[in-house]
C-alpha cells in the first residue's frame, strides 16, 4: 500500500486549537515515537541505493509523510506494514524541478538536494525551504559542501540547480559563519550523504556530533557505508557502493523530554519508555536541577514531582535548542530567576509574549531570556507560532489555573505523533476544537 490515503486520513484528523483546563497532576506511561530529526535525512538517504530498505519506527508526522510522498511522486515504491516502511527507489526518476508547493512545505526536503545529486549527477529543487518561523534558514552551507565535493551549483530563478560528473571526497569543515549549531548539523549531514557515495576519502572536521548524526551514521553503516568517528567532531568517510538493509530508529528523546517537562510543570508521576537517555544526558541533568525526581532503567525514565520547581539557567550550547521552549514553560512557575541563552535560532523566543499572557514574568533581549518565576499561571487565550512553542504552551496551560485556549496547534503535526491524545491519556484535560478541513 502507498502512503497517499494514509496521509489524507492523518491530515483530516488534525486540529488547530484546543481548550486546556489546567491543574490536573500527570499520571501514566507513554511510549515515545521514532526520532524525527534523524528520520528525515535517513528517508532521504534511501535514494542513495537502488536496493530495498526497511525502516522501523518512523514517526507518523507531516515531515515524514511529505518525503515519502515525494519519493512516490518520483516513481519510487513505498509500502507500509504496521510499524515497518519499505522503500525501494530502483525505478526512481526525479521530475525536474520537484513540485515547489510540496518541497517548500517542510524543511526536511532540503536533504533531497545532496542525495539526488549523488544518485543522478544533477538536481533542480526550489531553494525556499519550509519549516517553523524561528529564524533565517539560508542554505549556503549546503551549497558550499556540495561545491567542495565537486558539484557545480547555480541559482536559476527560484530553483537551486546542481550538477556533478564525479563527486569526490574532500577535507572540509562543517563550521560556518561562526554559528554554533545552526549550520553544522545540515553541513555535516550533507557531507555524509555525499561522502558515502563519492570517490575517495572525506574528512569532516568540526562535525555536528549529537544524536541525529550518530543515528544517521548507524543507518548508513547498515547499508554498507564506511564511516567512523560518530559522536566526535571529526568524521571519516570512505565512498563506496551501498546495499539494502533493515533499520530501526531510536525513540525521539525530544518527545521524551516534552513529557518529562510536562510532569515538571503539572506535578505527578510518569514512566517514559522507548528512548536512549544517553542522547539527552545534559537535558536530564537540567530537569534534575529543576527539582524533578528521575530514575532510569534501560530505555525508560521514571519521573515524579510535587511542589514548586527550582530556577535553573542554561544555554543552548549545552541544551538542545529544540527543547528550550518547553523547559522555559516549566520554569515559568519555578522559584527564583532563570536565565536562558539561545545560541542557535534568533527568533526562538517568540513564545515569550504568549507565556506572559498567562501571567509569566519573562523578558528577552537579543538571545537572552530572563524568567522570574511566579507561584501560579492563569489560563488565557494564546497562540503558538511554531512547533516547539505549541508544545511549550500546552505544558504551561496544563500547569495553569483555569482554562486556556491555544491556537496554532497544527504546527504539532510536524514533530509530534498524537501529542494531544497522549497528553489526554496522562490526565491533561484537553478538548480539541476546529478540525482542519
Residue 299: which CATH number? 3.65.10.10
Active-site amino acid positions? 132
pLDDT band at 7 (very low <50, low <70, confident <90, very high): very low
Among residues 186, 135, 76, 170, the alpha carbon closest in space to that of 348 is found at 135
Query: Is 314 in the same domain as 416?
Result: yes
- Look at residue 65 and tell me whether its pLDDT is greater than 60: yes
Q: How far apart are CA 181 and CA 192, in angstroms?
A: 16
* pLDDT, mean of residues 75-94: 95
Query: Is 105 in the same domain as 118?
Result: yes
Helical residues (DSSP H) of 275-344, grouped into ranges:
281-289, 324-331
What is the b/e burial string over 93-103, where b = at least 16 CB atoms within 10 angstroms of the residue's CB? ebeebbeeebb
Directed axis angle between helix 140-148 and helix 184-195, to 10°? 30
| 6 assigned to some structural domain | no
Query: Is 271 in the same domain as 232?
Result: no
**CA torsion through residues 300, 58, 248, 205, sign:** negative
| 125 assigned to some structural domain | yes
Query: Is 218 in the same domain as 265?
Result: no
pLDDT score of 48: 97
Chosen domain end from 248, 281, 306: 248
* pLDDT, mean of residues 335-359: 91
Helix (H, G, I), strand (E, B) or coil at 294: strand
Q: Give pLDDT tens digits for 212-252.
A: 999 999 999 999 999 999 999 999 999 999 999 999 999 99
Domain coverage including residue 298: 15-33+251-435
- Sheet of 368-372: strand order equals 314-315, 337-341, 368-372, 361-365
Among residues 30, 22, 14, 13, the alpha carbon closest in space to that of 269 is found at 30
CB count in 10 Å sphere of residue 90: 12
Q: Give pLDDT tens digits for 92-114.
A: 998 766 777 777 777 778 899 99
Cis peptide before 97 (omega within 30 of 0): yes
Chosen domain end from 248, 281, 304: 248
Q: How far apart are CA 304 and CA 271, in angstroms?
A: 9
Residue 340's beta-bridge partner residues?
314, 369
Report field, pTM of the whole predicted structure over 0.85:
yes
Amino acid at each position: 500500500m502507498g502512503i497517499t490515503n494514509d496521509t489524507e486520513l492523518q491530515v483530516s484528523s488534525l486540529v488547530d486549537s484546543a481548550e486546556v483546563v489546567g491543574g490536573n497532576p500527570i499520571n501514566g506511561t507513554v511510549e515515545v515515537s521514532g526520532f524525527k530529526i534523524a528520520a528525515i535525512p535517513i528517508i532521504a538517504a534511501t535514494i542513495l541505493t537502488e536496493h530495498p530498505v526497511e525502516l522501523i519506527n518512523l514517526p507518523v508526522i507531516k515531515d515524514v509523510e511529505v518525503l515519502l510522498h515525494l519519493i512516490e511522486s518520483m516513481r519510487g515504491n513505498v509500502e507500509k506494514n504496521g510499524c515497518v516502511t519499505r522503500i525501494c527507489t530502483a525505478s526512481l526518476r526525479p521530475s525536474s524541478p520537484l513540485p515547489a508547493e510540496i518541497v517548500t512545505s517542510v524543511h526536511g526536503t532540503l536533504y533531497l538536494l545532496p542525495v539526488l545529486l549523488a544518485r543522478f549527477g544533477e538536481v533542480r529543487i526550489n531553494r525556499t525551504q519550509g519549516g517553523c518561523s524561528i529564524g533565517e534558514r539560508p542554505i549556503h552551507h549546503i551549497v558550499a559542501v556540495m561545491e567542495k565535493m565537486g558539484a557545480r551549483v547555480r541559482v536559476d530563478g527560484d530553483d537551486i540547480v546542481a550538477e556533478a560528473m564525479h563527486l569526490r571526497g574532500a577535507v572540509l569543515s562543517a563550521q560556518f559563519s561562526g554559528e554554533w549549531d545552526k549550520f553544522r548539523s545540515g553541513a555535516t549531514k550533507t557531507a555524509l550523504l555525499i561522502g558515502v557515495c563519492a570517490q575517495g576519502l572525506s574528512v569532516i572536521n568540526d562535525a555536528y556530533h549529537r544524536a541525529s548524526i550518530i543515528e544517521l551514521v548507524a543507518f548508513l553503516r547498515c547499508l554498507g557505508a564506511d564511516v567512523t568517528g560518530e559522536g566526535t567532531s571529526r568524521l571519516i568517510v570512505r565512498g563506496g557502493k551501498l546495499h539494502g538493509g533493515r533499520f530501526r530508529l531510536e525513540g525521539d528523546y525530544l518527545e521524551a523530554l516534552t513529557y518529562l517537562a510536562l510532569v515538571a510543570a503539572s506535578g505527578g508521576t510518569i514512566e517514559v519508555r522507548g528512548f536512549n537517555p544517553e542522547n539527552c544526558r545534559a537535558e536530564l541533568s537540567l530537569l534534575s536541577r529543576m527539582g524533578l525526581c528521575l530514575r532510569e532503567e534501560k530505555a525508560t525514565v521514571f519521573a515524579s514531582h510535587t511542589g514548586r520547581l527550582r530556577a535553573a539557567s542554561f544555554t543552548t550550547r549545552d541544551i538542545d535548542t529544540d527543547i528550550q521552549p518547553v523547559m522555559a514553560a516549566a520554569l515559568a512557575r519555578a522559584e527564583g530567576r532563570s536565565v536562558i541563552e539561545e545560541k542557535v535560532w534568533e527568533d526562538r523566543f517568540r513564545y515569550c509574549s504568549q507565556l506572559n499572557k498567562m501571567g509569566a514574568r519573562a523578558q528577552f533581549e537579543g538571545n537572552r531570556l530572563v524568567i522570574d518565576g511566579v507561584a501560579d499561571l492563569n489560563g488565557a487565550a494564546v497562540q503558538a507560532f511554531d512547533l516547539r512553542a505549541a508544545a511549550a504552551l500546552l505544558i504551561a496551560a496544563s500547569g495553569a489555573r483555569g482554562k486556556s485556549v491555544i491556537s496554532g496547534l497544527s504546527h504539532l503535526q510536524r514533530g509530534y505523533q498524537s501529542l494531544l491524545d497522549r497528553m489526554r491519556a496522562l490526565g491533561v484535560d484537553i478538548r480539541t476544537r476546529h478540525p482542519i478541513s
